[in-house]
Amino acid sequence: MKRLGRIGYLILIYLFLYCPIAVLIVFSFNDSQYSLSWKGATLNWYRVLLADGQLLRVALNSLMVALCSATLATAIGTVAAVTLFRYRFFGRRLLYALIYVLIMSPEIVMGISLLMLFVAIRLTLGFWTLLLSHTTFCIPFVVVTVLSRLSGFDRNLVDAAQDLGASEVQVFRRIVLPLLMPAVLAGWLLSFTLSLDDVIISFFVTGPGFEVLPLRIFSLVRLGVKPEINALCTLMFGLTLVFITLSQVLQKEKR
Amino acid sequence: MKGDLWFQRVSVGTTWFWLAAFALIPNVMVVAASLLERGDRDFIRFALSLESYRRLLDPLYLRVLWNSLYLAALSTLTCLAMGYPFAYLLARVPRRYSRLLLLLVIIPFWTSSLIRTYAIIIILKTRGVVNNILLWTGLIQAPLELLHNDLAIFIGLVYTLLPFMVLPLYAAIEKLDPLLVEAARDLGAGWLKTFARVVIPLTLPGIVAGSMLVFLPALGMFYIPDLLGGARTLLVGSLIRNQFLAARDWPFGAALSVVLTAVMTLLLLVYARSRRLAYRGDLP
């Protein structure tokens, strides 16, 4: 009886977490504009999405920002994690603290602080400001992912390589990077997902000339529920599902 | 070697440059802006003033702050009450299932909160799932207005933020040695006492971390109250946004952000303290 109650509670919470998403997905295939009742399966709403040229351009914007910022954030984040792990230098503790401030600080505060910076240095709000902002909020996630893999890192490997005459660049490229690869890839996938989904920071740092998908969804949702939005959200959820599962598998990989 | 030093310098330099330029300086700018005056053309005039902070004391804004803190705290407590037993059971699930079950919590954790908020709208709207079920069972005669009120914001916050509570709790509870619980029981402590004196103190870092991850976004995610709430409830996230995009009062918006950051810092200190307490163990 007790066991049944426990399993029941677990199921209840999973239902709470997944029911709304499941309903969203099911209705993206429902052949009816308004009604909640099931009128048969259709791919019509996905067709409507694909026919919307403007929406496709916005989606392309989002993909471009996500690709570029995930790559940049992964490069900088990996270097930062290795630097924080291997070297002792001025301000190391401050940089550690800044990483955690970036993770913890409310997104809205990061959004307005970056907006202030961009306005102060007179950067036009658009692709570049989005790229810089997304890279910034993705870096700490890469750093944390890479650092967690570094925690099991055998420093003797570096010493051995150096004794054999390897330079720092060679140590990084031939020893450290290959060992960190799963974490680096996981960090990239996380960054890509984060960038693709971000609403709040993008809201502040992009201009009217460069719209991204989450902001478009936000303005569409404000107008009400529509089957096309169901389809769009289902696609985005599917993408997240694949990326996060992949990144989890990579992080769990045996060291 | 010369090349080695060069590599190290570039690495340290890149890390320093990026974090200084896009984390340190912008945050300093927010604090600075909150202490300046509002300008006509350039948003900010370079004259020191505490006007923005004085305005925060206006009953109108105090009310907004109070409402936001109240709603955020209520959501946090609800997530904790729902999430703690869940995380506890999850941590005790047989190995075979635990990875899949954990992944099922991680997926909503990373799924866009906007999409999940939209899903809630589908469930709660006038002709939505909940209303249809209630109508069908005959519990109500006419659809209820479930959206556009504080309850909807509350449900939305709990729904989107629950995974943020569960994951840190799970991490803390998984580390808890079941033998300690058994030992306490063998020594004659009842369930309640074991829970209060052994389980809670040892999982405190998870409780505090989860609470922070729920509480802070609950204050700042302006799109949840925007989409689910009514026109009458203004929360601090929306207020900040309005200062930057509609009212153009940057110093006031900055002051609000400073208050939000101060709340965060306070919580971080509590967190650091709870970790120390947990590591200190059961010394008197």
Nearest by CB to A221, from B104, B121, B222: name it.
B121
Mean pLDDT throughout B211-222? 89
Task: Give the pLDDT confidence of B133-183 residue by residue, as tens digits.
Answer: 888 888 888 888 888 889 999 999 999 999 999 999 999 998 888 888 889
Q: Is the dihedral of CA A182, A184, A190, A196 positive or negative?
A: negative
Fold that domain B58-280 belongs to in CATH: MetI-like fold (1.10.3720)
pLDDT at position B41 is 65
* B283 has pLDDT over 70: no
B244-253 in b/e burial notation, b at 16+ Cβ within 10 A? beeeebbbbb
User: Strand, coil or helix: what is B44?
Assistant: strand
Average pLDDT, chain A: 90
- CB nearest to B23's CB, from A98, A106, A222: A98
Residue B282: which pLDDT band, with cuts at 50, 70 and 90? very low
State the pLDDT at residue A36: 66
Q: What is the pLDDT of residue A40?
A: 82
B4-43 pLDDT tens trace: 788 889 999 999 999 999 999 999 999 999 999 887 666 7
Q: Would you list the DSSP string of B239-275? A: HHHHHHHTS--HHHHHHHHHHHHHHHHHHHHHHHHHH
Q: What is the ipTM of this complex?
A: 0.87
pLDDT tens, B59-105?
999 999 999 999 999 999 999 999 999 999 999 888 888 889 999 99
* Helix, strand, or coil (residue A168): helix
Domain boundaries, chain B: 58-280
Give percent of chain B above pLDDT 90.
45
Q: What is the pLDDT of residues A32-50, one digit of tens each?
A: 776 667 788 889 889 988 8
pLDDT tens track for A3-19: 889 999 999 999 999 99
At residue A228, does pLDDT exceed 90?
Answer: no
Of chain B residues 3-42, which have a CB less than 8 A from chain A? 3-4, 7-8, 11-12, 14-16, 18-19, 21-27, 29-30, 33
- Point out the least confidently predicted range of A121-135, B86-100, B263-277: B263-277
Q: Report the DSSP beta bridge partners of residue A147.
A: none
Sorted by sequence, the CB contacts under 8 Å of residue B222 that are 6+ apart come out as A108, A200, B235, B237, B238, B240, B241
pTM of the model: 0.89
Token pair of A166 as six digits: 């390897």
Nearest-CB residue to A76 (from B3, B18, B245) = B18
pLDDT at A74 over 80: yes
